[in-house]
Amino acid sequence: MADDVKAPTWKETLVDPLIANNPVMIQVLGICSTLAVTSSMKTAFVMSLSVTFVCAMSNLLVSSTRNFIPSSVRIIAQMTIIASLVILVDQILRAFAYDLSKQLSVYVGLIITNCIVMGRTEGFALKFPPLPSLLDGIGNGLGYGLVLCLIASVREIFGSGSWFGMTLFETVNNGGWYVPCGLLVMPPSGFFLVGLLIWLVKSYRKDLIEAPEYKTHKGGC
Amino acid sequence: MPKLNKDSVFGTFVIIIAFCLVCSVLVSSAVVMLDPFKAAAITTDRQLSILKVAGVTPGKNVSDTYNKYITARLIDMKTGMLTDDASDVAGAYNFASLAKQPDTSIAIPADKDYAGIRTMAQKMPVFYVKDDAGNTTRIILPFYGQALWSTAYGYLALDPDLNHIVAITFYSHGETPGLGGEIDNPRWQALWVGKRLFNDNGEYRFLIAKTPDKVGEGKDYEVDSLSGATLTARGVDNAVRFWMDYAYKAFFDNNRTTTEEIN
């Protein structure tokens, strides 16, 4: 490895992915699962933990073996590691949190195709030593988890009147006063909320707005 | 030993094979080691659902409570007779997967297939709930059918008269939380309690209706549908109709006769 590649500091790897380089809000990766598992806090939380674990461990393993991975088949080598880790997580959930694994259904298995994991191993772990890679994996997993939990909080509180399954507003169906917002429990609402979140973050942090890649013609007809 | 060039064809093969071997050993050993835990989790989950419709509060050890109050048997669906299989075999009987195999399933005639499941297993479990004195207090029958997005699986607990509903639960479905997922709502499930499946002539009369009859003749048979979940409720209605009016018919007929003989 060339010595002139400067390894990023722990702050860049661990803290930046939370907001400034958030995998969901800024890199816009992993949107599929963001929509699918955020209707309740419990599933979103377990999904965040699973992705953080897979992301951290795959980064660590890919980085540890980066000097052995032949570059022509590096994607396959990364996929092998990621897939093994995901199967491991899926099996552990099935054995010790059967109820939750039923709710998450296919989405645990689909962590394999979550672009965040692949993006980090390919974009970071192949270039840098194990320790920064591990931190980078944890940071990105937490950044993903942060967005997931924010969206799930809004969706569960206003869509079902509860948070982590604890009732906050008694819904009409249960004899209370709160009429839940049906839209929020449907997957499209996750999309709207991601959009709103990106808007919010970028209007507060103007430096995160990318320069336009091309100009459009502003003229009339 | 000459240094292995990782980017040569030979090196690529060696390294990838090594990678795959290590990963497959890791994955397969994890799967094998976790197998007993997974099996236990599935069993506990099933026993909890059954205890729920049985109206029994599970104690510290779920399987102890289950074994104390629940006896499972298998029904031969062709004849409606109980088989000689033991309770643990019947309880663990995986009817959903056996229904998909040609030699253990029965094809359902299209005009009777209200539940949209095409085939059913040749045998189905039935769970007898006994009280402390050993008397049968409830009879639990599994049922399932196509709802809106998924197949919904549930248990229906009946009075020993095999007519009055005492409890219902769904143990697996993929309906939208908050809409079709409200079939899990205890308040809705409570509406089922005390309803009758059959009228005095033994004809199937149970119905999930948008505007249930609350005062007239229908009040004993009709359950209010779920608002915002018309198709899920219709699927549940069809599933119950298929199993109770068609699939378990022979079992119902046999056991009604037995009761009369005793009397």
**pLDDT tens per residue across span A49-92:** 999 999 999 999 999 999 889 888 899 999 999 999 999 999 99
Asked if the model's pLDDT at residue B157 lies above 50, the reply is yes
Q: Is residue A70 helix, strand or coil?
A: coil
Does residue B29 lie within any of the structural domains? no
Number of domains in chain B: 1
Chain Cα centroid distance, residue B1: 62
User: What are the tens digits of pLDDT across the range B166-202?
Assistant: 999 998 888 887 788 889 888 899 999 999 999 888 8
Residue A40's pLDDT band, with cuts at 50, 70 and 90, is confident
| β-pairing verdict for B123-130 and B136-146 | antiparallel
Report CB contact under 8 Å: A173, B188.
Answer: yes
* Residue A59: DSSP 8-state: H
In a domain, residue B157? The reply is: yes
State the DSSP H helix or E strand holding residue B49, giving kind and residue range, or none if neither: helix B9-54
pLDDT at B144 over 80: yes
Q: Is residue B180 one of the residues assigned to a domain?
A: yes
Task: List, as own/partner pairs, every contact residues B115-119 make where C-beta atoms lie below 8 angstroms and the sequence separation is at least 24, other chains included.
Answer: B115/B143, B115/B144, B115/B145, B115/B146, B115/B238, B115/B239, B115/B241, B115/B242, B115/B243, B116/B145, B116/B146, B116/B235, B116/B238, B117/B144, B117/B145, B117/B146, B117/B151, B117/B242
Q: Are B208 and B236 a contacting pair, CB within 8 Å?
A: yes
- Which of the four pLDDT bands, split at 50, 70 and 90, describes residue A121? very high
Neighbours of B182 (CB within 10 A): 21
Average pLDDT, chain A: 87
- B49-101 pLDDT per residue, tens: 999 999 888 888 888 899 889 999 999 998 988 988 888 888 888 898 899 89
Inter-chain residue contact B187 with A88, CB threshold 8 Å: no
Nearest-Cα residue of chain B relative to residue A75 = B16
Per-range mean pLDDT, top range of A6-20, A133-147, B91-105: A133-147
Chain B residue with minimal CA distance to A66? B6
Query: Residues B3-58: pLDDT tens digits?
Result: 677 778 888 999 899 999 999 999 999 999 999 999 899 889 889 999 999 988 88
Does residue B15 belong to the interface with chain A, where contact is any CB pair within 8 Å? yes
* Residue B155 DSSP class: E
- Does a structural domain hold residue B163? yes
Q: Kind of pairing, strands B222-224 and B207-209? A: parallel
Neighbours of B211 (CB within 10 A): 8
pLDDT of residue A4: 54
> What are the tokens at A194?
């991601």
Question: Which chain A residues are Cβ-neighbours of B34 within 8 angstroms?
Answer: 91-92, 94-95
Are B38 and A175 within 8 A, CB to CB?
no
User: What pLDDT, on the 0 to 100 scale, is given for residue A1?
Assistant: 44
Q: Is residue B16 part of a domain?
A: no
**Does residue B7 lie in a domain region?**
no
Establish if B237 touches chain A: CB-CB under 8 angstroms: no
- What's the pTM value of the predicted model, to 2 decimals? 0.76
Burial class from Cβ neighbours inside 10 Å (0-12, 13-18, 19+) for residue B215 reads exposed
Q: Which residues share a beta bridge with B183? A: none
Query: Is residue A153 packed enough to be buried (19+ CB in 10 Å), middle (13-18) or exposed (0-12)?
Result: middle
Interval A138-196: pLDDT, tens: 999 999 999 999 999 999 999 888 898 888 888 887 778 888 888 888 888 999 999 99
CA distance B75 to B249: 11
B234: pLDDT strictly greater than 70 = yes
Task: Say if B260 falls within a structural domain.
Answer: no
Give the distance from residue B260's alpha carbon to the nearest chain A alpha carbon, in angstroms.
41
Q: Which residue of A has its CA nearest to B172?
A: A102
CB–CB of A98 and B12 under 8 A?
no
- B165 within a domain of the structure (yes/no): yes
The Cα B69–Cα B138 span in angstroms is: 10
CA-CA-CA-CA dihedral for B45, B51, B55, B57, to nearest 10: -80
CA of A23 vs chain B CAs: smallest distance (Å): 27
Task: Check if the beta carbon of residue A114 is closer than 8 Å to that of residue A89.
Answer: no
Confidence band of B152 (pLDDT split at 50, 70, 90): very high
Residue of B nearest to A179 (CA): B178
Buried b (16+ CB within 10 A) or exposed e, B230-240: eebbbbbbbbb
pLDDT in tens, B201-211: 888 999 999 88
In B, minimum Cα distance to A95 occurs at B38
pLDDT, residue A56, reads: 95
State how far the Cα of B218 lies from the Cα of B199, in Å rounded to an integer: 10
User: B31 CB near a chain A CB, below 8 Å?
Assistant: yes
Interval A195-215 mean pLDDT = 87
The answer to whether B185 and A173 are in contact (CB under 8 A) is yes
CB contact under 8 A, A91 and B38: yes
For the record, the structure tokens of B197 come out as 């499946």
Best A37, A80, A112 residue to mutate vs chain B (most B CBs within 10 Å) = A80
Residues from chain A contacting residue B44 (CB–CB below 8 Å): 98
The answer to whether the Cβ–Cβ distance between B6 and A94 falls below 8 Å is: no
User: Which range of residues forms the domain containing residue B130?
Assistant: 39-255
